[in-house]
Amino acid sequence: MTEKYEPKILAFLCNWCAYAGADLAGVSRFQYPPTLRVIRTMCSGRVDPLYVIEGFKSGYDAVFVSG
Partner 1 sequence: MKSYPRFIDPDKCTGCGQCAQVCPVTAINEFDCGLNLRAATYIQYAQAVPLAYGIDRDSCIGCGLCEKVCLAEAVSYDQRPSKAKIDVGAVVLSPGSDAFNPAKFDNYSYLKYPNVLTSLEMERILSASGPYQGHLMRPFDREEPKKIAWLQCIGSRDMNKCDHSYCSSVCCMYSIKEAVIAKEHSNVDLNCSIFYMDMRTFGKDFEKYYERAKDEGINFIRSRVHSIDEIGDTGDLSLKYVTAGGEIIDETFDMVVLSVGLEPKESAVELANNLGIELNHNNFIKTTDRDPVNTSKEGVFVCGAFQGPKDIPQSVVEASAAAAAAGEILATVRNTDTKDVELVPELNILGEPPRIGVFVCKCGTNIAGVVDVPDVTAYAATLPYVVYTTDNLYTCSQDTQEVIAKTIREENLNRIVVASCSPKTHEPMFQDTLTSCGLNKYLFEMANIRNQCSWVHANNPPLATDKSKDLVRMAVAKVGLKEPLNEISLNVKQSAMVIGGGIAGMTSALGLARQGFKTHLIEKSPQLGGQANNLFKTAKGELVQDLLADMIENVKKEENIELHLDTEVTGVEGFVGNFTSKLLTGGEESEIEHGVATVAIGGFEYQPTEYQYGNDPRIVTSLELDKKLIADDPIFKEIQTAVFIQCVGSREPDRPYCSRICCSHSVEAALEIKEKNPDANVFILNRDIRTYGEREEMYKRAREAGVLFIRYTVDQKPEVVIEDGKVIVKTFDEILGRPLEIETDLLSLATAVLPNNDVELAQFFKVAMNEDGFFVEKHAKLGPSEFATDGVFLCGLAHFPKSIDESIAQGQAAASRAVTLLAQGTVKTSGEVASINPMLCSSCGICVAVCPYSAPNFLEEGRFAGKSEINPVMCKGCGICVSSCRSGAISLKGFDNEQILAMISAA
Select the residue interacting with partner 1 from 19, 62, 64, 66 (CB under 8 A).
19
Query: Across-strand partners of 13?
Result: 40, 66
Cβ pair 60, 52 in contact under 8 A: no
Identified binder of partner 1 from the candidate list 4, 47, 62, 66, rule CB under 8 A: 47
Q: Which of 7, 17, 24, 61 lies at the binding interface for partner 1 (CB under 8 A)? A: 24
| CA nearest neighbour of 42 among 9, 10, 64, 20 | 20
Closest approach of Cβ 66 to partner 1, in Å? 13
Applying CB under 8 A, does 42 fall inside the site for partner 1?
yes
